[in-house]
Amino acid sequence: MNSPTPDDSTTGLGTALAAPLQPRPRRTLLQRWRGAWRRWSLWTALVGLVVSMLATLVWLAGRYEESQVQTQLERDAADAVVDIRVSLSRTLQNLQALHANDPGELAWEVGAADLLRNHRELIRIEWRDTSLRVRDHQQSPYRPLAWDRRLRESGQSDAAIACANARRLSSPAYSSSYFQPHGDGLGSEMMDLCLPLTTGGKVTGFVVATFSLREILLNLVAPNLTRRQEASFIEPDGTRLAVLGAARKGSRMFTSQHLLDMPGSTLVLRMDTWHAAPSLFPNVLTALVTAMSIALVTVMAVLVRDNRRRLRAERDLADALAFRKAMEDSLVTGLRARDLQGRITYVNPAFCAMVGFSAAELLGQSVTAPYWPPELVDEYRARQAVRLSGGEVPPREGFESVFMRKDGTRFPVLIIEAPLINAQGQHTGWMSAFLDISEQRRIEELSRASQERLQATARLATVGEMASLLSHELNQPLAAISSYATGSINLLEPASSTAAADAGDTASAPTTTAAPSAHDVEGVRMALTQIARQAERAGKVIKSVHDFVRRRDQARESLPAQQLLDAILPLVSLQARKLRVRVQTHVESGLPPVLCDRTMVEQVLLNLARNAMQAMDHPDIHQRVLDIRVLKTATGQRTGWIKFTVTDLGTGIDSDVAAKLFTPFYTTRSEGMGLGLSMCRTVIEQHGGFLGFAANEPRGTVFTFTLPVATPPAQSP
């Protein structure tokens, strides 16, 4: 049944699908290669930049660390120079203080000894006269050395040079450093300070103080400056004079040199320090920068991996879309999606081809779709309203409807609908699939027509088979008619003839009178009555055949089963008489009428009866009974149905024949066409009934079929 429905709606996918899918243009190999090269070069540049930036950061951090160490060292060296300078000037003051108030020799010795005790850098103090001869001297209690007086007083000695300077400058002067042996195979670098003693502007003598360079480093430089680094005095040419060293730790050396400028002499103070190298993380800053760099590189690696995954997902998605697009384009089934408001959100090419409208003309349409036939619009709208309100669930097997093409032609469609549920589980509309079933309908119509022609052929074939029976059956009434006609003619002959004529079983003796007697007239009348009866009988035979062949009324009608039997019995009897078969029928009392196509069902009955009689046409079968019954179906089974049985006592059907029994053109008889049973089953199935057979006891076969009653109990008010 056609239930036109329009309100096939759709959905969320709809939104995604609303924009018609554009097929991605296929990229050439060159374009793909260029794309890949650009992508990779960008990534390489990014990685290169990040790596070089990180390397620069680490290098700068290292440099910063180095500069820190160097700066600290410079500061320490400067501090040390200041310390030395301050201490030397204090010592100078002490030496000057030694000669304040013109001390006697004893007092001088006490003062000098005291000075030597307090200043460990002082090794020896000499009081010399103006000709630089030593008047008195004192030695350091910490380092008593043997001095060669002659060498000391020599005019070439360092002390003499310093004193010459002092005399010239009238101020203290230092000598350059010199090596002083200790007498034990060792020695150390010394330096003399010559202080001129003046009285009234006249030089009266000199004080020569001898300093040990190493003791200067040891005692005049703050210990914290020499604890972690090595301090030394060097000559401007780099010769090391005295060293105060810390243990060398580390392989990177930092050096700072500062001049110790003294009157008459210049020394260079050099400070060295060593740092562990290479040190990857020399301080917190470098470690921090490195940690951040590692984090940055890690993040970049994660990004690269993520990007690769995203690209792969994009590629998969594009493939899936292309696959889906190809699938949709190749489908012959029309697809349409609608949202909950009934708006069309998606149509596939097959649907557009089906209705003749383009996707642009269909998308967004809601109130009245352009493919609804105008005469059905009201009905479709009402149904759509019900569907959208959720009042009706579409049947799973689909329903039929009628659509209109753009050119106005109507065509039947089968619609299968399903709700569209989005990823969140929400019902967002309806997805519908459409099948154009016009071709199916045309084939059904063709099949029905050919079925009809087949049935007509089968009927004609039946009649052909019955032709001899007909001639035999018609022979009797025709012979009788002929006899009666001859008799009548004889009665009407002139009376001259006296010969008695035997006119068959109705012979009469004509008289010789000129006019027929009343008796003769009576005889002729009787003969004519018989002629008329026999002619009618022949006419009936012919009519029954004519009716059977010609009747084309297809309509189903309600009629009692007895009428169906009555219609075929004359024809059945023809064959029964010839084959000496006794025909018995029984119609159960009180049966309701059946609803059927009369012509078709009569033919079924006739075919079954004929097959049954032919099955009994066997020399060994003497008891030949054809039994046709009409009964109610057993209670509980198919109520509302009437059962017909056609039973014979014939040869029965063996299993080989049974397997092919309903195959068209299968027959075991030389003159058979093999169409009878296949046609019977088609007819009964068209009525919704069932045709089957079973072996009969003790012999023969029972064919059974069912037909619906005209007013089924379920439908009675």
Which residues of this chain interact with ligand ADP, rule CB under 6 A?
607, 611-612, 615, 648, 650-651, 653, 657, 661, 666-669, 672-674, 676-677, 701
**CB of 506 or CB of 607, closer to ligand ADP:** 607
Instruction: Give the DSSP H or E segment for 272.
Output: strand 265-275
d(CA 221, CA 552): 141
Q: Which of 604, 473, 458 is nearest to 541 (CA)?
A: 473
**CB of 180 or CB of 701, closer to ligand ADP:** 701
Q: CB of 465: closest distance to ligand ADP in angstroms?
A: 8
Q: CB of 692: closest distance to ligand ADP in angstroms?
A: 12
What is the number of other CB atoms lying within 10 angstroms of the CB of residue 194? 28
Residues 6+ apart with CB under 8 A from 312: none
Cα 381–Cα 387–Cα 391 angle in degrees, nearest 5: 125
Cα 396–Cα 402–Cα 405 angle in degrees, nearest 5: 125
**CB of 42 or CB of 658, closer to ligand ADP:** 658
Place of tokens 């022979």: 475
**CB of 361 or CB of 617, closer to ligand ADP:** 617
**CB of 24 or CB of 660, closer to ligand ADP:** 660
The secondary structure of 405-469 as a DSSP string is -TTS-EEEEEEEEEEEE-TTS-EEEEEEEEEE-HHHHHHHHHHHHHHHHHHHHHHHHHHHHHHHH
Give the residues across from 347 on adjacent strands. Answer: 336
**CB of 118 or CB of 468, closer to ligand ADP:** 468
Q: CB of 611: closest distance to ligand ADP in angstroms?
A: 3
Q: CB of 654: closest distance to ligand ADP in angstroms?
A: 9
d(CA 510, CA 496): 10
The secondary structure of 540-601 as a DSSP string is HHHHHHHHHHH-----EEEE-HHHHHHHHHHHHHHHHHHHT-EEEEEE-TTPPPEEEEHHHH
**CB of 213 or CB of 653, closer to ligand ADP:** 653
What phi, psi does 216 have (nearest 5°)?
-60, -45
Q: Which amino acid is at 707?
A: L
Residues 6+ apart with CB under 8 A from 395: none
Q: CB of 704: closest distance to ligand ADP in angstroms?
A: 12
Place of tokens 């084939």: 443
**CB of 64 or CB of 662, closer to ligand ADP:** 662
SS3 127: strand
Q: CB of 607: closest distance to ligand ADP in angstroms?
A: 6
d(CA 196, CA 128): 9
Q: Which of 602, 630, 628, 621 is nearest to 700 (CA)?
A: 621
Q: CB of 368: closest distance to ligand ADP in angstroms?
A: 54
d(CA 504, CA 527): 11
**CB of 273 or CB of 701, closer to ligand ADP:** 701
**CB of 326 or CB of 658, closer to ligand ADP:** 658
Q: CB of 588: closest distance to ligand ADP in angstroms?
A: 22
SS3 78: helix
Q: CB of 561: closest distance to ligand ADP in angstroms?
A: 20
In the complex, residue closest to ligand ADP by CB: 676
Total count of residues recorded for the chain: 717
d(CA 85, CA 79): 10
**CB of 377 or CB of 661, closer to ligand ADP:** 661
d(CA 254, CA 305): 45
Q: Answer left, alpha or beta for residue 580, where phi above 0 means left and psi between -120 and 50 means alpha.
A: left
**CB of 281 or CB of 666, closer to ligand ADP:** 666
**CB of 99 or CB of 681, closer to ligand ADP:** 681
**CB of 420 or CB of 673, closer to ligand ADP:** 673
Instruction: Check: CB of residue 433 under 8 Å from CB of residue 335.
Output: yes
**Helices H, strands E: what count in the chain?**
17, 22
d(CA 451, CA 301): 76
